[in-house]
Structure formats: C-alpha cells, structure tokens
C-alpha cells in the first residue's frame, strides 16, 4: 500500500496534542487528590492526557496512512472580519450600547463576503440593526441600554 | 395574583406577542436609573433585583411582597433576576447602582456568607448597602433517607458520632443553604462527615429519596412535600418555633441539639448612600406588605411566615446581618471552604 | 376504569377555553423565541416563565408546557434550516436535517420532525398516564455509579455521529469532555482553566460552543466558494416528504419513541442521551448507513421522535416524585411554588385536576404544535430564499445578541469566535463537530457522577461492577465500542488486501 502523508491529519492531531497538553499542564496546578476524594485536577489531567494521546495517534496515522482531504481555499477575509465582529460585539455592547454595537457588528460581518458592495452592506447592516432592536429590545425586553455610556447620553 | 402583576405580565406578553408579528409596540424603557427628589419617591418604576433564577424560593418571596409594596408606595415594581455565582453577581450590580431607592436588592442568607466564601468579592455587605428590613426566615429541616437507621435527632447525633466515616451528608452545592446548614450541623455535633455536593437541590433530593445518600438539611420549601408524603425521614426543624405545615416535627432545641439554629433569612437592601427618607418609606411599605393576609397565606404554603413587624426595620436587619456575618465567617473558615 | 375517569377529569380541565388558548399562545411564543439563533429551549422557557405567573396554576403550567414544546420544535427548526442547534438533541437533528435542507429537502425534514414529534408525544403521554408511578420508582434505583456508566455508554455511542474517521470522532468526544471541565469545580469550588476571569466561573455556555462549531464554522466554509452556495437555494423541491421518505420514517419514529420514552424517565440526564442514542441505533440497523450524515431522513425522524418522547416522560419524576429531571423541569418546580403548590409526591393525589389536566394538555400541546407548524413549514423554507449575503450576517448578529442576552456575559460571545475558529480548522481537517458537542454536554455529568460514586463508595472503584445496573451498562458500552471499532479495522484490512493484489 502506498504511504500517503496527510497534512490535515497532522494539523488536526497537532491541535489535539496542543489543547490536551495545555490542559494537562494546567491541571497539574490544581489539587489532584486521592481516588476517594478526587481533587479538581484529577479528571482534567486524565482527560487531557487522553486527548493528547489520541492527537498523537492522529499525527502518526497522518504521517503513515492519512486521510486525503482536499483542504480547499481559506477565506482569510471572512475569518478575520467575523472574528473581529464577534470580539467587537462582546467588548462594546456594554460600553457603546445596543444600537451602535449591533450596527457595527452587522456591517463588519457583511463585509466578510468578497462579493459585497459597500452600499448593500450598509443597507443590510441598517436593516439588521432595526430588526434586532425590535426583536430583542422591544419584543424580548432585553435589558441593555440602547445607547451606551461611551456616547455620553 | 392581583392587578399590578397581571398588568406587568400583560405588558410583557403583549410585547412578546408583538415580536411574533414583528410589530413595534410600546417601548417604555422603565427602570432606568435617574435622580429625583425624595419627596416624589418613587416617581418611577422600582426594580427589585433577585440574584437568583426566576421561580426559585427567593424569587417567589420577592414576587409575593412586590405587589403589595408597590400598592403602598404608589408605583410599579419590576422584578428582575440577575443570577450567578451564588447571588454575588446580582448583589454586586445593586452595590454599584444609583443610591436613589429605585434599585432594590432582595437577598438571603448568602449576603452574610459571601465575604467568607468568595475571595474577590466586589462589595462589602455592611459598607456598600443600607439595610431596609428583614422579610422572612425560611426554616430548614434535617431529613434522612427513608430507611436510614436513626429514628430521632438524638439517635442521628449518636449515629453520626459512631459512624462518622460511613455517613454521607448531601448538599446542593458550595455556599447553598443546605451546605451551610450541613456545616453548622457538623460543628454542633463535633464531627467531620463525608459531604456529597450536588448541583442544586433537585438532584440532591432525588438521590436522598432514592436512598443513595444518608441525610441532608434543606429548606422546608423543598422538603415539606417529601416529608408529608413519607418519602424521607424528618428529624427536626432548625428554628425556635415549629412549622405550621409540619406540626409533628420537633425543633432542634426540643430534640436536644439547640446549637443548630439556622434559617434562610431574606432581607431587602438598597445601595449605600440612599437617602434615609427613602429607606424609611421602603421599610414602611414592607411592614404593610408583610401584614397582608394574602402574603401570610402564601408564605404559609411555602412553610414559612413573615417576620414580626419589629424585624422588618433597617436596624433589626442590620443587627441580624452583623451577627450572621460573624457566625458564618467562623464556620466557613473552620471548615476550610472556599468558593473563590 | 379509574384511568378513564382520570383522563376525563384531565380533558375537562384542559379543554377549558382559556387553557387551550394559553396552551396555544405558549406553543406560539415558544416557537417564535426558540427559532432565534443563540437562544436554546431552556433559555426560552426561563425567559417566558414570568409571563405565566399571573395565571391560575393549572393554566400557567399548561402554558409553560406549551412554551417548552414550542421552544424545542423552534430549536429543531433552526438546526435544520441554518445548522444552528440550541441544545444537544438539536445538534443531532442538524446532522442530516441540514444536509437535507442543502439538498432542497428542508420542507420534508421539518415535516418529518413535526409528525415524528407528534407521534412520539402522543405515545409518551399515554405511557405517562398509564405507568408514571412505576416508571418513577425505576428511575430512583439509578445511583451515581449507574449514571456514570450510562454516560460512558452514551459517549461511546456518540462515535456513530461521525461519518468519517472513528479515531478523530473519539478525539473530538474526549476534547468535548475536556472543554466541559472549564469553570468552577462543583466539589471544591476551585475555578479551573478560567485565567482569573470571573465570567468564566460558570463554565463555557453550550450555546456558544454550538453556535461557533456549527453556525460560524459552516458560514466560513460557505464563504470559501461563494459561487456554489447560491445554487443550493434554487432547487427547493416539494415541501412534503415523498412516499419513500414516509415509509423510511415509520420505523425510526417508533423506535425513537420507545427509546426516548425510556431514557426520559431517568432524572440524572437520561433525556440528553435520547436523541443521539436513537441516531446511533438507526445508523447501525440501516441498510444504508453511508447515507447518514448526507441527508438520511431516518437521521431526522428517529432523534426528533426520541427527543420529544423524552421531553414528555421527563415530566414523570417531577409529577410523581416532585423531583426535577433537568433545568426546564426545575423551572417548572418554580412555577409550582409560585402558585402555592408544594412539589412532591402528593401532587398526584392532592391536585388531581392539575395532574391530569397537565397530562391531557401535553397531548393537546402536541396537537397544537403540529397544527401550528405544518402550515408554517412553507414560511420557514422561504427563509432559505433570503440572499446569503443577508442571511449570514443575520445569523452572526442574532446569535451574538441571543447568546449575550442569557447572562449578559461578554465571554459567551468571545467563546463563539473561539469555537468558530477551532471548529473551522478541525472541520477542514476532517473532524466533525457533533461528537465534540456531545462530549461537552456529557463530560460534566461523567466527572460529577464518577467522583460522587467514589465518595459514596469510600473510594472503592468496584461499585461500578457490583451494582447491577452499572455493570450491565458498562458491558453495553464495551459491546458498543467493539461493534463501532471492528468495522473500521475490518475495512482497513480489506483496503490493505486490496492494495496488495
């Protein structure tokens, strides 16, 4: 049988090893306890080590006989813009208030598509801001100020 | 319930309905803080912050008194649930609210235990709040699984002393009333038992009824249904008086463990710096509400009763808070418990 | 017969005009809020609960039950249409339901979900009326050790949710369990992996993980090739299931109903297992297991029925014992208390009108759900015609707001971004998100019951083998693991042999 090296497998395994390893290191900082009274660190240590071991197995398999997966293009622009939009929402909603935060988040997200025109983006963002205000603030009575303290209202 | 809460529910529902049709309805954004003179207090909607989930015992008590208090104050009271981290999230929010009497906190025994349980608490109970008055003291009960050997509280004390390494004591999670009562029980008896924490009263009680754990101590609100159905064995109630709904159940003092005195006491708070006149108005309204036959009747169904009028005052409440802060600081430190 | 007298009493209560009306309003509101991205059924019920406080106790509880059914169905709707599950059972529905939607069969998926839920609801309600007390006493036999084994069994079974590599599915499950440990340890109060951020003490919100790993990751994948996505919408075929699809759904609906009804009785998390155990069963006994994950209607019919049956029978511990089986039931307890009814074993004798009225209205609620949702399917499907350039910003914005609205915690929104990126990378590498999600839901149950069982047994691990229920479940887990792993090994050997020829 032909050996196939699979980069996605190695990458996936690497992610597992990394996260599992990080949790193992982290859980060593907590009390491990005894079998009778397992401390807060025991379970994550065990599970983290398992994740890392499975990750390692995936890496090894990826180097010997991996799954051939078409990796495809990566939409860098969408990744950057959507991540930014979500982080912005979480950070700003209390400070700027519901309306401006929603508008900016919607506008940023709209720009994730490479085919979008600016005018469309603005229109979509405006429409979504109005809709979300009606649904969440008027309809569901969410208790977030419409305009936040940063705007000096 | 009466007209006020029905109105509140109605507005809320019509608003929610308008969501279905996506029609913009009334957008009265009440409850926002703002300063006003004390003469025209309240003048706007008052918000009662409950630091626990809607439908819980504390929330229920709040809703019971909100309506008659609103009638007395001449305005509307909106109940808002701000849950999280054993009630400290809601309390922290009220500590930082405008001291105008429009944001009122309903909190229970947790107000006095939080400083000992949480390392980084964003507020100090005595410094950051004005006490308004006590509301109710919900009794707790010591209950065991149906086939647990001890028959009386005295038996139980003797049994846990003899079998300290075998007995399991359930609780509803760190800092929960059942946990505190369990700690106090161990202090009173002078033993260290194997505690079995659960996430909430429901699962803990399930395992007690199912016979998986030996005993626990919890509010009458949660236990009286199981006790009267004979699904658990009741040993004692932890208040000076017996409970009306469980007339045959002795008090801890009667049953020979007078040191075990604990209740889930509830009180109202406003941020420090609230004008005394406003605090007085709130306290007066509370007193009137607690004398309402409907409130007394509803509380009786929960296995509790309003505090006497002299306890529904800022001073009595403050004394209770100070005393409880001292008690729990010691019990919790001795037990080495931290919720950080 | 006593049962018929009781049911007569129940229906005479439930058929009061205001009760039917508010049940309908409940179903309507529940569906309307439940379809919002980022708001799962529990949150929907919690949000709408105060509305019911002002009604008579029976009316309030009937309305609340209506809200609960509506919220669940609303959640399945978003899972099918836009791949955004609001709870773990909907994540299972999304696997094949959303694939069907991509193939223009969203209408069929929604219809099968609605009809399957109705049948399951009807059967489970009958089970509830006939056998609630004995079922409840069975549920009480389950101790922590038994729940540990049950959850372990569930984790093994969830390997079947992946259509690809077993090894990767296993890694995803365990990773989910690991991520579930973030937050305060319930035994000691130690905050774990929280980086000193108070907002993380409560752990990571399930909805954030689901929205990130399913919703955001899917959007990123769609934006890879923007030209292909546009074509999906144009080929929406018939709204209703074809004759063949209907035939293929009957078995899964019936099996799902039985499985869900049985698991729902267990107060310690049985309902969580219902939908994906059903999925695993259907995939295993199907003649076309390879279609699963690519739009197999059985993968929608079975889990949806199982979930709804479990939703009905999870009322059993509450109604007969006064013990809530999950967060929604805990909210129901709150509703009992608010209305001056002490929850406990005596409700059934002290408040017969309430008990039987609630049971009768469960069935009415299911009828109303069906009547409301079948006509709505056309409207939901039309939602897919919204241009993608409007749809995906809408999903992201609503999901951010919805997730934030639950506890006003910004970290819930940051978590969406984190899990969106993690999910995107892992999915691109051939890992599937559903097993991770189930590991995440079951992980805390696994740890909690493991440690609790060991505390109660004084550190003696043999409890897991000496308790009969636990031993049987562990054996089942082992069998499930063997039959899941064996075909993979066999297949690989076939490949090896084929390569040598």
Q: Identify whether the C-beta of residue B181 lies closer than 8 Å to the C-beta of residue B140.
A: yes
pLDDT at C427: 92
- Of A2, A19, A71, nearest to C175 by CB-CB distance is A19
- Of C51, C202, C346, nearest to B229 by CB-CB distance is C346
What is the share, in percent, of chain C residues with pLDDT greater than 70? 94
**Using a CB-CB distance cutoff of 8 angstroms, which residues of chain C are in contact with residue B166?**
458
The full set of domain ranges for chain A reads 7-65, 76-151
What pTM did the predictor assign? 0.86
**Using a CB-CB distance cutoff of 8 angstroms, which residues of chain B are in contact with residue A134?**
19, 22, 24
**Site of tokens 């109605």:** B10
What is the distance between the alpha carbons of residues B88 and B94, in angstroms, rounded to a whole number? 10
Chain A interface includes B27 (CB < 8 A)? yes
Strands B129-145 and B215-219: antiparallel
Chain C interface includes A124 (CB < 8 A)? yes
Q: Identify whether the C-beta of residue C49 lies closer than 8 Å to the C-beta of residue C334.
A: yes
Question: How many domains does chain C contain in total?
Answer: 1
> Which SS3 state, helix, strand or coil, does residue C78 take?
helix
pLDDT at A3: 53
What is the interface size between A and B, counted as CB pairs within 8 Å? 27
Inter-chain residue contact B19 with A141, CB threshold 8 Å: no
Range of the domain at C427: 2-500
For A12-21, A108-117, B77-86, C490-499, which range has the lowest pLDDT when averaged over its residues?
C490-499
Inter-chain residue contact C405 with A110, CB threshold 8 Å: no
Inter-chain residue contact B12 with A135, CB threshold 8 Å: no
- State whether the Cα torsion B113-B118-B124-B130 is positive or negative: negative
Once rounded to an integer, what is the mean pLDDT over residues C147-170?
89
pLDDT confidence of C347, banded at 50, 70, 90? confident
Q: According to the 3-state scheme, what is the secondary structure of C332-353?
A: HHHHHHHCCCCCCCCHHHHCHH
Residue in chain C nearest A98 by alpha carbon: C401
Inter-chain residue contact B15 with A139, CB threshold 8 Å: yes
pLDDT at A69: 72
Tens of pLDDT, residues C238-293? 678 888 888 899 999 999 999 999 999 887 777 788 998 999 999 988 888 888 98
* Whether pLDDT at C401 is above 90: yes
pLDDT at A24: 96
What is the distance between the alpha carbons of residues B204 and C285, in angstroms, rounded to a whole number? 38
pLDDT at B15: 39
Tens of pLDDT, residues A58-79? 999 888 877 777 778 888 999 9
Tens of pLDDT, residues C12-48? 887 888 888 999 999 999 999 988 888 888 888 888 8
Query: What residue ranges of chain B have pLDDT lower than 50?
Result: 1-36
Q: How far is A138 from chain B (nearest CA, A)?
A: 6
Q: From 3.30.470.30, 3.40.630.30, 3.40.50.970, 3.40.190.150, which CATH number describes the B46-137+266-335 domain? A: 3.40.190.150
CB proximity list for C91: less than 8 A, separation 6 or greater: C79, C85, C210, C214, C433, C434, C437, C438
Inter-chain residue contact A132 with C171, CB threshold 8 Å: no
In this structure, CATH architecture of domain B139-237: 3-Layer(aba) Sandwich (3.40)
Inter-chain residue contact A58 with C168, CB threshold 8 Å: yes
Tens of pLDDT, residues B177-206? 899 999 999 989 999 999 999 887 888 988
**Using a CB-CB distance cutoff of 8 angstroms, which residues of chain B are in contact with residue A145?**
32
Burial of C227 (0-12, 13-18, 19+ CB in 10 A): exposed
The full set of domain ranges for chain B reads 46-137+266-335, 139-237
pLDDT at C10: 83
pLDDT at B155: 93
Chain C interface includes B192 (CB < 8 A)? no
Q: Is the ipTM of this complex over 0.90?
A: yes
Chain C interface includes A28 (CB < 8 A)? no
B 267-326 → C contacts, CB under 8 A: 298, 301-303
**What's the angle, vertex CA C198, arms to CA C192 and CA C204, rounded to 5?**
60
Q: How far is B293 from chain A (nearest CA, A)?
A: 33
Tens of pLDDT, residues C433-486? 999 999 999 999 999 999 999 999 988 889 999 999 999 999 999 998 888 777
Subunits close to A (at least 3 CB pairs below 8 A): B, C
Tens of pLDDT, residues C421-437? 999 999 999 999 999 99
DSSP-derived secondary structure for chain A: ---B--HHHHHHHHHHHHHHHHHHHHHTTS--B-STTB-TTHHHHHHHHHHHHHHHHHHHHHHHH----------HHHHHHHHHHHHHHHHHHHHH-HHHHHHHHHHHHHTTSTT--HHHHHHHHHHHHHHHIIIIIIIS-----SS-GGGT-
**Using a CB-CB distance cutoff of 8 angstroms, which residues of chain A are in contact with residue C402?**
136
Q: How far is C3 from chain A (nearest CA, A)?
A: 41
Interface residues from chain A to B (CB-CB < 8 Å): 131, 134-135, 137-141, 143, 145-146
Once rounded to an integer, what is the mean pLDDT over residues A118-146?
89
* Whether pLDDT at C1 is above 70: no
pLDDT at B1: 33
Angstrom CA distances, C119 to B164, C3, C116, C287, C305, stand at 52, 21, 5, 24, 7
């Amino acid at each position: 049988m032909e050996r196939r090296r699979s980069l996605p497998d190695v990458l996936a395994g690497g992610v597992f090893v990394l996260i599992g390893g990080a949790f193992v290191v982290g859980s060593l900082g907590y009390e491990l306890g005894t079998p009778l009274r397992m401390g807060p660190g025991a379970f994550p240590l065990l599970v983290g080590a398992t994740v890392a071991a499975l990750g390692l197995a995936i890496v090894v398999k990826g180097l010997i006989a991996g799954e051939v997966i078409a990796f495809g293009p990566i939409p860098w622009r969408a990744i950057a813009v959507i991540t930014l939009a979500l982080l912005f929402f979480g950070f700003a909603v209390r400070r700027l208030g519901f309306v401006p935060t929603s508008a900016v988040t919607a506008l940023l997200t709209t720009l994730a598509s490479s085919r979008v025109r600016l005018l469309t983006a603005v229109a979509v963002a405006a429409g979504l801001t109005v809709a979300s205000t009606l649904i969440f603030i008027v309809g569901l009575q969410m208790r977030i100020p419409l305009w936040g303290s940063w705007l000096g209202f | 319930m009466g007209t006020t809460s029905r109105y509140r529910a109605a507005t809320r529902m019509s608003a929610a309905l308008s969501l279905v049709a996506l029609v913009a309805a009334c957008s009265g954004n009440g409850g926002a803080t703002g300063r006003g003179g004390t003469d025209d207090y309240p003048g706007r909607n008052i918000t009662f912050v409950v630091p626990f989930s809607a439908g819980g015992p504390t929330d229920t008590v709040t809703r019971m008194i909100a309506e008659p208090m609103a009638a007395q104050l001449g305005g509307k009271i909106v109940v808002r649930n701000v849950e999280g981290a054993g009630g400290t999230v809601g309390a922290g929010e009220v500590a930082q609210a405008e001291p105008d009497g429009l944001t009122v906190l309903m909190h229970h025994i947790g107000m006095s235990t939080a400083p000992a349980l949480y390392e980084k608490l964003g507020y100090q109970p005595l410094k950051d709040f004005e006490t308004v008055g006590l509301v109710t003291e919900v009794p707790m009960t010591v209950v065991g699984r149906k086939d647990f050997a001890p028959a009386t509280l005295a038996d139980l004390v003797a049994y846990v002393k003899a079998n300290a390494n075998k007995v399991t004591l359930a609780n509803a999670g760190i800092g929960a009333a059942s946990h505190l009562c369990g700690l106090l029980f161990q202090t009173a008896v002078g033993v260290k038992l194997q505690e079995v924490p659960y996430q909430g009263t429901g699962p803990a009680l399930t395992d007690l009824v199912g016979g998986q754990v030996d005993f626990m101590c919890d509010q009458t609100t949660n236990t009286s249904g199981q006790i009267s159905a004979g699904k658990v064995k009741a040993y004692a109630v932890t208040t000076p008086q017996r409970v009306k709904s469980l007339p045959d159940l002795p008090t801890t003092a009667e049953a020979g463990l007078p040191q075990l005195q604990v209740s889930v006491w509830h009180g109202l708070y406003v941020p420090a710096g609230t004008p005394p006149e406003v605090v007085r108005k709130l306290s007066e309204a509370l007193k009137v509400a607690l004398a309402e036959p409907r409130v007394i009747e509803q509380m009786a169904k929960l296995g509790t009763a309003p505090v006497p009028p002299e306890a529904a005052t800022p001073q009595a409440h403050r004394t209770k808070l100070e005393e409880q802060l001292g008690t729990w600081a010691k019990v919790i430190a001795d037990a080495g418990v931290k919720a950080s | 017969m006593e049962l018929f007298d009781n049911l007569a009493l129940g229906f005479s209560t439930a058929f009061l005009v205001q009760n039917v009306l508010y049940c309908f309003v409940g179903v309507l509101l529940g569906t309307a809020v439940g379809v919002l991205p980022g708001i799962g059924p529990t949150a929907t019920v919690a949000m709408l609960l105060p509305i019911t406080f002002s009604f008579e106790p029976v009316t309030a509880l009937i309305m609340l039950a209506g809200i609960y059914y509506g919220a669940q169905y609303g959640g399945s709707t978003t899972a099918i249409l836009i791949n955004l599950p609001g709870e773990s059972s909907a994540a299972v529905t999304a696997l094949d339901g959303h694939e069907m939607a991509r193939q223009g069969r969203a209408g069929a998926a929604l219809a099968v979900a609605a009809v399957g839920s109705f049948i399951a609801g009807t059967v489970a309600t009958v089970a509830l009326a006939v056998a609630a007390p004995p079922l409840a006493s069975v549920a009480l036999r389950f101790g922590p050790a038994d729940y540990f084994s049950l959850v372990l069994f569930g984790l093994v079974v969830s390997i079947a949710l992946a259509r690809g590599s077993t090894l990767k599915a296993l890694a995803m499950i365990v990773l989910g369990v690991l991520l579930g440990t973030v937050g305060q340890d319930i035994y000691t109060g130690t905050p774990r992996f929280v980086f000193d951020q108070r907002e993380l003490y409560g752990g990571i919100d399930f909805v954030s993980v689901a929205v990130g790993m399913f919703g955001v990751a899917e959007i990123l994948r769609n934006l890879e090739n923007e030209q292909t996505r546009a074509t999906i919408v144009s080929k929406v075929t018939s709204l209703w299931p074809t004759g063949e699809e209907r035939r293929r759904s009957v078995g899964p609906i019936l099996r799902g109903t039985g499985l869900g009804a049985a698991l729902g009785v267990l107060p310690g998390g049985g309902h969580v297992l219902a939908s994906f155990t059903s999925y695993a069963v259907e995939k295993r006994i199907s003649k076309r297991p390879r279609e699963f994950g690519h739009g197999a209607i059985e993968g929608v019919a079975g889990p949806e029925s199982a979930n709804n049956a479990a939703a009905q029978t999870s009322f059993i511990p509450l109604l007969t014992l006064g013990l809530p089986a999950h967060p929604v039931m805990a909210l129901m307890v709150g509703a009992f208390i608010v209305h001056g009814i002490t929850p406990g074993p005596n409700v059934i004798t002290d408040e017969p009108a309430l008990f039987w009225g609630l049971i009768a209205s469960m069935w009415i609620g299911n009828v109303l759900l069906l009547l409301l949702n079948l006509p709505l399917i056309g409207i939901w499907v039309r939602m897919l015609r919204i241009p993608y350039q409007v749809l995906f910003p809408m999903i992201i914005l609503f999901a951010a707001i919805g997730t934030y609205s639950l506890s006003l915690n910004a970290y819930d929104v940051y978590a969406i971004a984190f899990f969106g990126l993690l999910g995107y990378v892992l999915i691109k590498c051939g890992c599937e998100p559903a097993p991770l999600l189930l590991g995440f839901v079951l992980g805390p149950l696994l740890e909690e019951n493991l440690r609790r069982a060991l505390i109660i047994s004084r550190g003696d691990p043999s409890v897991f083998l000496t308790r009969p229920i636990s031993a049987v479940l562990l054996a089942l887990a082992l069998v499930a693991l063997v039959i899941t792993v064996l075909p993979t090994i066999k297949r690989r050997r076939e490949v090896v042999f084929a390569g040598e020829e």
